[in-house]
Amino acid sequence: MRILFFQDENELLKRLCLSRPFGSDFLSALAQKASLESESANLLIGKQWVEDNPQLNGLDTFTYEKASWTLPDSVIRSKSDEICLLNGSAVFSVDEQQLKHTLGSFSWDVVTIRVSPDLQASKEILKLTSDANVVGFRRFYAPSIEPAHAPSQWPDIVIFKRPIWDKVCEDGRFPLDFDQLRNRIGPRSYQVTHLRAGGQRRPLDKESAFLDCLQEYWPEAPESGDGVNQGTGMILIGDNVTVEPNVTLVGPIVLSSNVHVKSGAVVRRSILAENTVVQSDQVVNNRILFEETDAGQSNGSVSFVTMEDCRSSFKKEYKNWSMFSYARLGKRIFDLIASSLVLILLIPIFAVVAIVVKLSSPGPLFYRARRQGLHGKDFNCLKFRSMMVAADSMQERLRAVNQVDGPQFKMENDPRITGVGKFLRDTYIDELPQFINVLIGQMSIVGPRPSPENENESSPAWRDARLSVRPGITGLWQVLRTRQEGADFQEWVYYDTRYVRNLSFRTDLWICWKTAQKLIHSFLGQFG
């Protein structure tokens, strides 16, 4: 059984949940996020919450008074082997399967868990000696779980084995004061374990956390509602909402019941609770407003918030170049001319390879690898097929023998590669169809390595730099990598970002020259 516990001390959360009609929707969304497989979380909220907002009665809700919870019959009679109490003061997510596996590896009666973003996947930890000298970096490719100190206040998760829960609640009441709970557990010979688990965590005691959650909690919301004169993004509108003409709304926005937005106002990424009034020409930006809150400052005659400003703030931090620079214009002209000439010259080779690939193994001629291009736009990166059909589905089973670090995958004598495919790969002939991608503008001849979304998401600190340009058939990493064990990923990061910082025509010509040397050497090596 899962119970999502909301403390009365979180005044901001309490007031938002009492706001109609979306307060109950917000609590319901939190309960759904806390669900495990098919098991939903029951809500545990103060009795006063339900009295102030009767809509909360429609949820799977338990109520408490003051610092203790009188257990209802449904909890007492529950046949759950474990009782999991979740702290509703934060929104968090952990790897449930990893946590189950860890808890199954040792004996315990009670476990407390604090979700720690610094232990989640794709994080780098600076490793120091005792005298503060830098040894190196440790990078996590999967979330970690490690022992922790005993918490002094409610952790994110507390899990009780059912017999222990029954003993803690032997008087039919569960203590909601953490000090009282520790006093009940401490003197007894229970096996209490404290852990930190890697995951995402956003405390719900700040406006920014609620605003970050808006689109995540209501993904199916309508784009706009009646009375919206100029709006974009997710806009939720309650009962008796008045939006006057010439109002600019930039979602995600929640307009609760009886909200009045007057003419000329701008509202962006905000929550307006019941009975809020936004005055004419006021700007509400990244705010949660209640009826007595000062809604913002008048912009007067100065238009410091525009629709374009609002849209641009949601864009990624890609590097930009001027329209007539080499990076935007000259490089594209070079790509068009070079790819056209190469494709004309390669027509005979394409024909021969097509016949050989089709005769050597069943399946399509081309392998279409889904990759992210300029500004993260997905495209099909073309290659001559060098593997058996359904090779992608076998990759995870081979992950244990991966011979490169980071999110990439490579292994010697890959069993998925066909006999002809090995020759095509060793001579790089399999990548020739990518000149088609270059011709139609999805790739460039020179650029960062084309990589899929899951690899880019594993590298948040530098993905926007490498996605600022089109990926290339060849690049700085491809010609300078050393293939040292444990260093390939670091070199990939270094050379791709270095290329974007120093992009020039001279650099591209040098990379093309080095690539040509490498290709000739590799091709001749097949016959040496």
Interval 38-80: pLDDT, tens: 566 788 888 887 777 777 776 668 888 877 888 888 888 888 8
pTM of the model: 0.53
Q: How far apart are CA 19 and CA 180, in angstroms?
A: 32
**Percent of the residues in the chain that have a pLDDT greater than 70, as a whole number:** 77
Q: Which residue type does 417 have?
A: I
Q: Which of 449, 456, 505, 433 is nearest to 481 (CA)?
A: 449
Q: How far apart are CA 305 and CA 309, in angstroms?
A: 6
The reported pLDDT for the residue numbered 386 is 84
Does 294 have pLDDT greater than 70? no
| Span 2-9, average pLDDT | 82
**Cβ–Cβ under 8 Å, residues 153 and 49:** no
The reported pLDDT for the residue numbered 215 is 59
The helix/strand/coil state of 141 is coil
Which residues are within 8 A (CB) of 167 and not within 5 positions of it... i.e. 6 or more apart? 188
Q: How far apart are CA 109 and CA 256, in angstroms?
A: 44
Q: How far apart are CA 315 and CA 249, in angstroms?
A: 18
pLDDT in tens, 104-154: 999 999 999 999 888 877 666 666 676 767 666 666 667 888 899 988 889
Q: How far apart are CA 80 and CA 5, in angstroms?
A: 18
The reported pLDDT for the residue numbered 139 is 66
- In the block, which residue shows the tokens 């490690």? 146
Q: How far apart are CA 407 and CA 396, in angstroms?
A: 12
β-pair type (192-203, 145-147): antiparallel
Report residue 366: phi and psi, to 5°.
Answer: -105, 150
Does 227 have pLDDT greater than 60? no
pLDDT in tens, 301-320: 222 233 344 344 334 567 78
| Span 280-298, average pLDDT | 67
The reported pLDDT for the residue numbered 313 is 39
How many CB atoms within 10 Å of residue 219? 9
Most confident of 194-198, 269-273, 333-337, 383-387: 333-337
Does 329 have pLDDT greater than 90? yes
Q: DSSP of 399-419, one letter per residue?
A: GGG--SSTT----TT-TTB-H
pLDDT in tens, 346-404: 999 999 999 998 888 888 889 898 999 998 889 999 999 888 766 555 555 544 444 44
Q: Cα–Cα–Cα angle for 399, 405, 411, nearest 5°?
A: 50
| Span 328-354, average pLDDT | 93
How many CB atoms within 10 Å of residue 13? 25
Which residues are within 8 A (CB) of 151 and not within 5 positions of it... i.e. 6 or more apart? 112, 114, 178, 194
β-pair type (472-474, 444-446): parallel
The helix/strand/coil state of 229 is coil
Per the model's pLDDT, the better-predicted residue between 424 and 214 turns out to be 424
Three-class secondary structure assignment of 187-211 = CCCCCEEEEEEEEEEEECCCHHHHH
**Cβ–Cβ under 8 Å, residues 119 and 139:** no
Q: How far apart are CA 491 and CA 503, in angstroms?
A: 17
Half-sphere exposure of 263 (CA within 13 A, CB side): 2
Q: Where are the beta strands (DSSP E) in 286-377?
A: 288-289, 366-372
Per the model's pLDDT, the better-predicted residue between 34 and 424 turns out to be 424
Q: Which two tokens stand for residue 416?
A: 């998925």
List residues bridging with 160 in a β-sheet.
83, 110
pLDDT band at 503 (very low <50, low <70, confident <90, very high): very high
Q: How far apart are CA 236 and CA 222, in angstroms?
A: 7
Query: What H or E segment, with its residue span, contains residue 272?
Result: strand 271-272
The reported pLDDT for the residue numbered 187 is 66
**Cβ–Cβ under 8 Å, residues 447 and 488:** no
Does 472 have pLDDT greater than 60? yes
Provide the total of helices (H) and of strands (E) in the chain, helices listed first. 19, 28
The reported pLDDT for the residue numbered 445 is 95
Query: What H or E segment, with its residue span, contains residue 439?
Result: helix 434-439
Which residues are within 8 A (CB) of 40 and not within 5 positions of it... i.e. 6 or more apart? 2, 31, 32, 34, 60
The reported pLDDT for the residue numbered 181 is 87
